[in-house]
Structure 1
Amino acid sequence: MNCLPPADETRGTGELVVEIAERVADEEGVSPLELPPLADALDAEVLEQLIDTAETPVSVGFEYLGHTVVVCGEGEIELK
């Protein structure tokens, strides 16, 4: 998998969701504030808990605004 490394290795609660929104907004050429809520696509709290507590490498993919977003490893994000 070719995930981009997280911008900040020490994310706080909610920062993964912000980073996902920023990456998608960048791809769409809009402000993150113009995007529909990410909560419409997934339960962000569950995603963060899964990534933060996994004992083995995991990857989670979901669809958001026509993009496949894959979060893997320790929070690396890939857009397809």
Structure 2
Amino acid sequence: MNSLESSVSVTATDQLSMAVIDLVAQAENADPVELDPLYDAIDPDLLDSLPGSAGFTTLEFSYQGYTVAVTDTDEGVDVSLEGAEITADGLQNDLIDTESST
């Protein structure tokens, strides 16, 4: 099984939403405009407001089959990306269980 893990640091002057899109585009080896709209996963304005928010420490969400983790650090904000696993038959299995059965 193959998995991808990547990260980038973002300063307060950078748009966090664009950093997420760029990181996923690099992981997909795709043009950012080919990706699903980020707003289908999370509000980009909310994401961009996190670096200056009091009390913000971490946030995780799913986007394009990846787990995106946003973490506040002393140097800024770290964005890490953990990829979906590819099985032997080539099917993608998301690492986050978005539905649970009872």
TM-score (norm 1): 0.78
* Higher CA-based Rg: 2
User: For residues 4 and 72 of structure 1, what CA distance do their matches in structure 2 show?
Assistant: 11
Count of residue pairs the alignment pairs up:
74
- 5+ residue gaps in structure 2? 1-5, 83-102
Which amino acid is 1:33 matched to?
V
Backbone CA RMSD of aligned residues:
2.0
2: CA distance, partners of 1:10 / 1:53: 11
For the residues of structure 2 that align with 1:61 and 1:51, how far apart are their CA atoms? 14
Q: Which amino acid aligns with 1:67?
A: Y
1:3 is displaced (CA, Å) by: 5.2
Counterpart in the other structure of 1:79? 81
Change (3 A) 1:53 1:10: closer
> Structure 1 residues 3, 26: closer, same or farther in 2, change over 3 A?
closer
Who is 1:68 aligned against? Answer: 67
1:41 alignment counterpart: 41
Query: Would you tell me which structure has more helix in proportion to its own residues?
Result: 1
Q: TM-score by structure 2 length?
A: 0.63
- Which 5+ residue runs of structure 1 have no aligned equivalent? none
> Matched residues, percent identical?
30
